[in-house]
Amino acid sequence: MTIARYYSAGALSTAKTNALLESMRAANPRVRSLQTEKCFYVQNNRYKQLPADVDAKLHWILKESDTVDQLSAKAGLVADSSQVLIEIGPRFNFSTASSTNSVSICHNLGLDFIERIELSTRYLVTFDGPVGKDEGAIVSSLLPILHDPMTQCQYTERNIPTNDFYETVSRSKEDWYFVPLLEQGRRALEEINVKNGLAFDEWDLEYYTNLFVKVLKRNPTNVELFDCAQCNSEHSRHWFFKGKITVDGKPKQQSLIEMIGDTQRYTNPNNTVKFSDNSSAIKGYKHTALRASCFDGPGKFVQRSVQSDLIFTAETHNMPTAVSPFSGATTGTGGRLRDVQSIGRGGLPIAGTAGYCVGMLNIPGQTLPYESEQDYPGSFARPLKVLIEASDGASDYGNKYGEPVICGFAISFGTVQAD
């Protein structure tokens, strides 16, 4: 198992480099210029030194299709006393979508020993004088601009894949075991909750303790509890929407989801699918469309008269987008496309819309009388960053899939309450 590296100058476009440089100067006025290069990390399970024919194939796969091969085994950027080199790449413990596609191409070309291909970006930042002992503080001030902490990390001499992306990741496999709730009570559940990051809240702890101790009268396994944390979560079960509501001490007859569904009693009876599948649909119309003449091999498209219903589905991705705006929005678009495709016997995506509701923007250089600077959790992106990067992310996923974002909205609102 070993990793080969291929470097190529100019990781970013001129426009992107200039925009990044402007952001860096806002964070640190000493910044003067920025150069970039990309590095491909190619992991294989057969060779310590790649043969010439394999190396040639990888050059052909990894180089830009419309340029001369500029890949090199040696890095082109090296920092001097007035420069800082920052390398950002994907986290080691999961493969990116780009790696999956690249590895698939390699396997189709006979390079079935290629296991992973990841791409990092190297930033050479030049300052107005020697960096000296301030390098650590400088890097810390620039990192939030350069990387997504949820999906990326900084590559350093001590934190870089050498022979295997997983060499620094613990691979110990813990056997399943019984959690001693009958013997230790709730304390045992609290301990595994912290140990395995199950995210059980107070209600969950009470519920599962009672379920296993008093109802089932047996100890759960660690696997069962992990399953409960995922499949029985608010995200999966919608406890809040389906739960009983008490307002001002008075219980409501309907849950939130029942209130939403009740609107169908007072609207046009044109639904063909409602509250029972991944998307909803209304009555469509007959039209002529291109359809494949066969589905078990190559064949021509033919015109056919078909009946199609109209689908609409929505996907909220508030928490992921708040933590990682670009990636959170891309997966939100992906989830919506999945829902469209999986309704009934299958749907066809046509176009998407996107809406953004954020707090006070506090745009630099544009002070507004009704805005104020507010503290946000360290793991959350600021509203302005969410608005910019989430918009890029939603469009990026749709463009790669072939679905355009054709309209949307953006709302900025912030309020501070005394309590």
Q: How far is the C-alpha of 42 from the C-alpha of 223, rounded, in Å?
A: 34
Residues 325 and 278 placed together within one structural domain of the fold: no
pLDDT for position 38: 95
**pLDDT of 172 above 70:** no
pLDDT interval class at 391 (50, 70, 90): very high
Six-digit token pair at 261? Answer: 């569904």
- Note down the domain range covering 337: 313-418
Q: How far is the C-alpha of 413 from the C-alpha of 340, rounded, in Å?
A: 31
pLDDT for position 170: 62
**pLDDT of 99 above 70:** yes
Residue 249 lies in a domain: no
Q: 247 in helix, strand or coil?
A: strand
Structure letter (DSSP) for residue 293: S
pLDDT for position 410: 94
The residue ranking higher by pLDDT, 417 or 145, is 145
pLDDT interval class at 143 (50, 70, 90): very high
Residues 109 and 197 placed together within one structural domain of the fold: no
Residues 20 and 55 placed together within one structural domain of the fold: yes
The dihedral over CA atoms of 392, 396, 398, 403, expressed in degrees to the nearest 10, equals 100
Which of 277, 312, 347 is at the close of a domain?
A: 312
pLDDT interval class at 139 (50, 70, 90): very high
Residue 36 lies in a domain: yes
Identify the CATH number of the domain in which residue 330 sits: 3.30.1330
Percent of the chain with pLDDT strictly greater than 70: 99
Residues 10 and 143 placed together within one structural domain of the fold: yes
Dihedral angle sign, alpha carbons of residues 216, 219, 224, 229 = positive
The dihedral region occupied by 177, where left means phi > 0, alpha psi between -120 and 50, and beta the remainder, is beta
Strand partners, 90: 152
Residues 229 and 335 placed together within one structural domain of the fold: no
Give all strands (DSSP E) within 62-211, no chain letters: 83-90, 114-127, 152-155
**pLDDT of 173 above 80:** no
Residue 146 lies in a domain: yes
**CB-based contact 175:160 (threshold 8 Å):** no
The dihedral over CA atoms of 330, 103, 3, 12, expressed in degrees to the nearest 10, equals -40
Q: How many CA atoms lie within 13 A of 158 on its CB side?
A: 0
Q: How far is the C-alpha of 131 from the C-alpha of 127, rounded, in Å?
A: 7
Identify the CATH number of the domain in which residue 217 sits: 1.10.8.750
Residue 168 lies in a domain: no
The residue ranking higher by pLDDT, 233 or 71, is 71
pLDDT digits (tens, 9 = 90+) for 251-297: 999 998 888 888 888 888 888 888 887 888 999 999 999 988 988 88
Report the relative pairing of strands 250-251 and 271-273 from DSSP bridges.
unpaired
Q: How far is the C-alpha of 317 from the C-alpha of 319, rounded, in Å?
A: 6
Residues 192 and 318 placed together within one structural domain of the fold: no
395, amino acid identity: S
Residue 243 lies in a domain: no
Q: How far is the C-alpha of 256 from the C-alpha of 260, rounded, in Å?
A: 6
pLDDT for position 182: 96
CA–centroid distance for 282 within its chain = 31
Structure letter (DSSP) for residue 104: H
Residue 219 lies in a domain: yes
Residue 325 lies in a domain: yes
Residues 68 and 10 placed together within one structural domain of the fold: yes
Report the relative pairing of strands 271-273 and 2-9 from DSSP bridges.
unpaired
The dihedral over CA atoms of 368, 372, 376, 380, expressed in degrees to the nearest 10, equals 0
Residue 171 lies in a domain: no
pLDDT for position 70: 85
Residues 63 and 148 placed together within one structural domain of the fold: yes
Q: What value does the mean pLDDT take over residues 49-54?
A: 94
Q: How far is the C-alpha of 392 from the C-alpha of 46, rounded, in Å?
A: 39
Residues 188 and 145 placed together within one structural domain of the fold: no
Residues 21 and 92 placed together within one structural domain of the fold: yes
Which of 155, 174, 202 is at the close of a domain?
A: 155
pLDDT digits (tens, 9 = 90+) for 186-244: 999 999 999 988 989 998 999 999 999 999 999 999 999 999 998 887 777 777 888 88
pLDDT for position 171: 60
Q: How many CA atoms lie within 13 A of 268 on its CB side?
A: 6
Domains contained in the chain, number: 4
Residues 19 and 52 placed together within one structural domain of the fold: yes
Which of 214, 237, 260 is at the close of a domain?
A: 237
Strand partners, 140: none
**CB-based contact 381:389 (threshold 8 Å):** yes
The dihedral over CA atoms of 225, 226, 231, 234, expressed in degrees to the nearest 10, equals 90
Residues 285 and 404 placed together within one structural domain of the fold: no
Element (H, E) at 19: helix 14-27
Report the relative pairing of strands 271-273 and 246-247 from DSSP bridges.
unpaired
The dihedral over CA atoms of 291, 294, 297, 300, expressed in degrees to the nearest 10, equals -50
